[in-house]
C-alpha cells in the first residue's frame, strides 16, 4: 500500500472517530430548560376540563401539609425534591447524599436562571391545599403521598423560590406564572393533573382555564 493510501485511511479513521465523539456529546447533552413530563395538548386539555366536576371550592378545615407526605425516597438516597432538581437542571452534580452541589436551573415561571439549589423550589402545579379543597380531603394518606410526589404526571417543576411562594395555594383564576409564554403549558399541566386525580374545579377556575386553553 502506498504512503498516500495509508495517509488517506488514517485521515478517514480520525474523521469517523471525531464524528462519533460529537454524536456522543450531543446524545448526552443535558436539556437546557426544566423538563417535567410533557402535558397533554390543548385540545385534549379542553376535553378534560369539560369533563371535570364544577363546584365551589371546599374548606381547608383539617388540612395539613403533613397529610401529603413528601419528599419521599425515590431511589437510593435520593428523595423526590432531589430527583426533580437533577431532572430539571443543567450539569447538576450531587454529593453522596444526593443533594445538589452545583448546576443551573431555568425557571419556566419567570425566566430566571439560578445556580444555587437553595434558590429553587419544587412547585406542586396543583397545590396541596388546592387539592384538599377539590376532593383530596377524602383520600387515603397513601393516595395523597402519591399525589405529592408524582413524577409521572406534570405535577412537579423546579422554579424560582419566591415565585413559588407568591403562588401559594392559588388556582389559575387567582394566579398565573409571570412569564406569559408559559401560560398555555401551565394550564395544560393543571388540567391534566386535576383530570387524572378526579379533582373538581370552581366556576372561576374553569373560566380562567377555558380562556387560556382557547388561546393555545
pLDDT digit string, tens, across residues 110-160:
999 999 999 999 999 999 999 999 999 999 999 999 999 999 999 999 999
pTM of the predicted model as reported, rounded to 2 decimal places: 0.84
Name 162's Cβ contacts closer than 8 Å, sequence gap at least 6.
Answer: none
CA atoms within 13 Å, Cβ hemisphere of 196: 17
Per-residue burial over 150-178, b if 16 or more Cβ lie within 10 Å, else e, is: beebbbbbbbbbebbeebebebbbebbbe
| 18, three cell numbers | 471525531
| Mean pLDDT computed over every residue of the chain | 88
pLDDT band of 15, cuts 50, 70, 90: very low
Q: How many Cβ atoms are within 10 Å of 149's Cβ, its own excluded?
A: 23
* Per-residue pLDDT at 22: 31
**pLDDT exceeding 70 applies to what percent of the chain?**
84
Name 175's Cβ contacts closer than 8 Å, sequence gap at least 6.
Answer: 166, 167, 168
Q: Quote the CA–CA distance of 148 and 142 in Å, as a whole number.
A: 10
For 32-70, the pLDDT digits (tens) are: 445 899 999 999 999 999 999 999 999 999 999 999 999
**pLDDT exceeding 90 applies to what percent of the chain?**
84
Amino acid at each position: 500500500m502506498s504512503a498516500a493510501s495509508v495517509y488517506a485511511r488514517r485521515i478517514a479513521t480520525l474523521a469517523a472517530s471525531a464524528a462519533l465523539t460529537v454524536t456522543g456529546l450531543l446524545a448526552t447533552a443535558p436539556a437546557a430548560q426544566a423538563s417535567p413530563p410533557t402535558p397533554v395538548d390543548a385540545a385534549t386539555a379542553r376535553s378534560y376540563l369539560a369533563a371535570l366536576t364544577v363546584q365551589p371550592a371546599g374548606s381547608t378545615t383539617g388540612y395539613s401539609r403533613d397529610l401529603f407526605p413528601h419528599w419521599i425516597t425515590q431511589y437510593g438516597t435520593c428523595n423526590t425534591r432531589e430527583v426533580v432538581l437533577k431532572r430539571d437542571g443543567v450539569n447538576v452534580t450531587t454529593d453522596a447524599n444526593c443533594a445538589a452541589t452545583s448546576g443551573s436551573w431555568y425557571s419556566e415561571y419567570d425566566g430566571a436562571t439560578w445556580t444555587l439549589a437553595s434558590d429553587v423550589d419544587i412547585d406542586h402545579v396543583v397545590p396541596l391545599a388546592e387539592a384538599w379543597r377539590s376532593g383530596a380531603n377524602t383520600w387515603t394518606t397513601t393516595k395523597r403521598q402519591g399525589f405529592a410526589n408524582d413524577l409521572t404526571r406534570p405535577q412537579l417543576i423546579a422554579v424560582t423560590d419566591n415565585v413559588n411562594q407568591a403562588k401559594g395555594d392559588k388556582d389559575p383564576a387567582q394566579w398565573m406564572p409571570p412569564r406569559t409564554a408559559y401560560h398555555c403549558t401551565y394550564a395544560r399541566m393543571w388540567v391534566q393533573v386535576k383530570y387524572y386525580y378526579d379533582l373538581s374545579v370552581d366556576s372561576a377556575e374553569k373560566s380562567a382555564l377555558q380562556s387560556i386553553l382557547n388561546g393555545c
